[in-house]
């Protein structure tokens, strides 16, 4: 993991030296020792650490049980475990991780879950299991002293340590009520996408359009130039943001239209993050407020930087009593967000001083590698997640930051007022090992947030917990603009374009107040600026189409450099997502020339590319269904086998090959083979190979214009050949690139 060292408070480096220190380097994730097999970690001399013993003297306690290994016995079983774990990583998380590893996803030890056998053994001691952490190779439990001693006898237990506590970074000072502007009729709640988190797709709902007004929130947005970035087309569509907080009112006017992909309550262990019967009345206040600052959409009152993002909601803090929440809820939520594929995490929790001094961290532990939450935050960043976390409200003393703000590779966030003056309460750096903190600041004084208890009210609040979601939203906007950047490149772009980048400090402002537009367009990283985000238009999401010609239409985009844009439309048959149509055009409409089966579900989306092939996918992926008849019905023949002309012909990118077979077999089955050949008789591609098929049938098989190695074939004449029910038929087609 790369470490960026900012100047000590007493040492100011010239700008050029700071830039050299800050230039992002490739991720070192592939060098991690956990990527290869290592012998089990040794057991400590005292399995129950002195800190755990002290905690247990006060009664039953929340403890971490760390294991020596994950059940593997040698390099072969290790490799098998890693391979199996890699197969469970979602496509979205896989793509995000591949970006951090220069285009290649490599599963590692952190993907392997804790051994079920070890968990069962811990439960057998009478301990109550809270959360299991694959990253730490540990399990959190509640146990008394006798139970801890029984756990310590298990040979695969490396150590037993107390769980640290935390409190949210609560608002400071009085709140300033803000009268609502116009209160629009709440839109129907978008709610959760159907299916499991792994099955949900981003972009299924139409993007929210530009708001009619911003109300008092315009000041906090203009402070980081987020409004101008929105005007430029960047509202975080397609970006997945995880909010970690106290709970969320999803029916507030500022949040009701926001898109939720998944939610989980890590306090009550269920799928509801709103207030529940056992909650304190104001449990959801803080979470609703921070979510609205990042992504709120309440025209005339409150708009967040990233209102078109998709959200994961994690309730991690129990506010029923003054007892601080345990760190394992936070860690479990981070691992959950990683597993679904989060791009950004915004968290306003901090860990340092607690009700009992014996539970508190020391400043010396804020070194970027000691506390559990700090290690988790840094590991999330290494796995491709931009983490924004509050510095805390313990300023103005030097070194008053709280974990996990000491983590390397994240955006630790301080608070300024509307005039860019640091707030007295904003915690200060540096870390115990001399790294500058915060990285960045945003408005955290009189910042407008949603009042959870009143669906129409917003108010002004102070705290670094309000500055943090502004930076989380800014990061989501930059991520939409630059999907190719690594976490380190994105952080670098935000830092080096902030207003104090010429003379950053290591205690107060860091690199200063962010400038989203400058980060997108003007950072020294250079590189491509992709075509601007755009929307699909017709057929509408969830719509039905009936008769040909089948017209598809989308909104126009532009390339910031003024270059011409080429669109590529893809139509996929659900649920297999097999290709039906793949074509390019310079227009914003296209007519599908082939067949669409009756009563069938399809997905479609469009990508826009500049001349250098920098692609921007549409904000949405729409789904549509066909009616019971689509006007072009292919019926089985009375007898024999029929091979029809492919559509379209000539082929530019893909084509459909129709064929039909009569009921010619006594058992109602036949074997079907369909191959593509060139004019020399060489096999180009096998589409079907002796596939057992029920007859009678009439179907269309798609060919994407590629050979068996996945390469696009060149222009020319090709033949497709069908073998079925004792017949061997072929036809000619033309590929024209």
> Catalytic one among 69, 108, 245, 499?
245
Q: Is 654 a catalytic residue?
A: no
Containing 51, the helix (H) or strand (E) segment is helix 50-56
Degrees (nearest 5) of the Cα angle 626, 627, 630? 80
- Residue 610 designated active-site: no
Cα distance between residue 736 and residue 203, in whole Å? 33
Q: How far is CA 413 from CA 283, 346, 347, 446, 486, in A?
A: 24, 10, 10, 16, 19
- How far is residue 403's CA from residue 491's CA, in Å, rounded to a whole number? 19
State the DSSP string of 493-514.
Answer: HHHHTSTTTTS--SSSSTT-B-
* The dihedral formed by the CA atoms of 484, 488, 493 and 497, expressed in degrees to the nearest 10: 180
Extended strands (E) in 365-521: 386-390, 411-416, 440-443, 447-450, 458-462
For residue 347, give the 3-state DSSP assignment: strand
Question: CA torsion, points 335, 341, 346, 349, in degrees to nearest 10?
Answer: -10
Catalytic residue among 409, 465, 506, 579: 465
Closest CA to 213 of 458, 398, 482: 458
Per the annotation, the verdict on 587 as an active-site residue is: no
Residues, the chain: 737
C-alpha span between 71 and 719 (Å, rounded): 54
Q: Which of 131, 286, 361, 614 is catalytic?
A: 286
Element (H, E) at 481: helix 464-481
Closest CA to 440 of 2, 26, 22: 22
Q: Report yes or no: 514 and 471 within 8 Å, Cβ to Cβ.
A: yes
Say which residues have a Cβ less than 8 Å from residue 174's Cβ, sequence separation at least 6: none
User: Where are the alpha helices (H) located in 213-369, listed in sequence order?
Assistant: 218-223, 226-231, 285-295, 327-340
Cα 447 to Cα 460: distance, rounded to the nearest angstrom:
5
CA–CA gap between residue 625 and residue 571 (Å, rounded): 12
| CA gap 266, 656 in Å, rounded | 49
- For tokens 């479609």, name the residue: 604
Contact present, 411 and 493 (Cβ < 8 Å): no
The residues annotated as belonging to the active site are 245, 286, 465
């Amino acid at each position: 993991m790369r470490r960026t060292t900012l100047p000590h408070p007493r040492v100011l480096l010239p700008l050029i030296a700071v830039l050299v220190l800050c230039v992002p380097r490739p991720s070192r994730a592939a060098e991690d020792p956990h990527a290869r097999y290592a012998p089990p970690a040794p057991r400590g001399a005292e399995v129950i650490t002195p800190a755990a013993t002290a905690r247990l003297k006060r009664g039953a306690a929340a403890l971490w049980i760390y294991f020596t290994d994950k059940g593997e016995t040698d390099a072969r079983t290790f490799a098998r475990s890693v391979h199996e774990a890699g197969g469970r990583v979602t496509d979205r998380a896989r793509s995000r991780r591949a970006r951090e590893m220069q285009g290649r996803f490599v599963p590692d030890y952190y993907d392997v879950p804790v051994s079920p056998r070890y968990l069962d053994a811990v439960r057998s001691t009478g301990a109550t299991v809270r959360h299991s952490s694959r990253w730490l190779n540990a399990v959190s439990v509640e146990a008394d002293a006798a139970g801890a001693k029984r756990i310590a006898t298990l040979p695969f237990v490396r150590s037993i340590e107390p769980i640290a506590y935390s409190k949210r970074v609560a608002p400071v000072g009085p709140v300033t009520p803000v009268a609502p502007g116009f209160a629009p009729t709440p839109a129907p709640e978008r709610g959760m996408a159907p299916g499991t988190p792994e099955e949900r797709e981003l972009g299924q709902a139409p993007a929210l359009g530009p708001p009619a007004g911003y109300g008092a929130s315009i000041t906090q947005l203009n402070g980081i130039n987020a409004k101008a970035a929105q005007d430029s087309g960047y509202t975080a569509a397609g970006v997945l943001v995880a909010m970690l907080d106290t709970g969320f009112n999803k029916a507030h006017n500022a949040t009701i239209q926001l898109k939720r992909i998944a939610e989980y309550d890590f306090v009550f262990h269920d799928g509801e993050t709103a207030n529940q019967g056992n909650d304190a009345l104001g449990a959801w206040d803080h979470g609703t407020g921070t979510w609205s600052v990042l992504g709120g959409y309440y025209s005339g009152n409150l708009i967040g930087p990233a209102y078109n993002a998709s959200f994961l909601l994690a309730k991690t803090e129990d506010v029923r009593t003054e007892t601080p929440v345990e760190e394992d809820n936070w860690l479990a939520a981070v691992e959950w967000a990683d597993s679904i594929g989060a791009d950004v995490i915004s968290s306003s929790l901090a860990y340092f001083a607690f009700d009992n001094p014996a539970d508190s961290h020391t400043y010396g532990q804020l070194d970027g590698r000691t506390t559990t939450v700090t290690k988790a935050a840094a590991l999330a960043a290494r796995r491709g997640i931009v983490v924004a976390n509050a510095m805390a409200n313990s300023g103005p003393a030097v070194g008053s930051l709280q974990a996990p703000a000491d983590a390397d590779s994240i955006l630790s966030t301080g608070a300024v007022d509307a005039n860019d003056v640091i707030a007295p309460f904003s915690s200060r750096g540096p870390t115990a090992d001399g790294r500058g903190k915060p990285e960045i600041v945003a408005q955290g004084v009189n910042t407008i947030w949603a009042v959870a208890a009143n669906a129409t009210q917003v108010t002004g609040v102070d705290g670094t917990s309000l500055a943090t979601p502004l930076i989380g939203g800014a990061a989501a906007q930059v991520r939409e603009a630059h999907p190719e950047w690594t976490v380190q490149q994105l952080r670098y772009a935000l830092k080096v374009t902030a207003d104090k980048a010429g003379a950053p400090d290591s205690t107060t402002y860091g690199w200063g107040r962010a400038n989203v537009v400058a980060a997108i367009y003007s950072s020294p990283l250079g590189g491509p600026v992709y075509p601007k985000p755009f929307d699909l238009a017709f057929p509408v999401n969830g719509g039905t189409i009936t008769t040909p010609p089948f017209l598809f239409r989308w909104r126009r985009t532009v390339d910031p450099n003024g270059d011409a844009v080429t669109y590529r439309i893809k139509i996929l048959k659900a649920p297999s997502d097999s290709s039906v149509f793949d074509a390019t055009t310079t227009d914003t409409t296209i007519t599908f020339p082939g067949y669409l089966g009756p009563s069938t579900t399809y997905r479609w989306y469009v990508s826009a590319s500049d001349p250098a092939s920098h692609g921007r996918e549409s904000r949405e992926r729409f789904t549509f269904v066909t009616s019971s008849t689509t006007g072009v019905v292919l019926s089985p023949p009375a007898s024999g086998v029929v091979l029809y002309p492919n559509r379209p012909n000539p082929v530019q990118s893909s084509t459909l090959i129709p064929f039909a077979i009569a009921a010619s077999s006594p058992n109602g089955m036949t074997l079907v083979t369909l191959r593509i050949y060139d004019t020399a008789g060489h096999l180009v591609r096998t589409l079907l190979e002796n596939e057992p098929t029920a007859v009678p049938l009439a179907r269309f098989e798609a060919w994407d214009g590629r050979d068996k190695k996945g390469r696009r074939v060149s222009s020319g004449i090709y033949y497709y050949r069908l073998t079925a029910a004792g017949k061997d038929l072929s036809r000619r087609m033309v590929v024209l690139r």
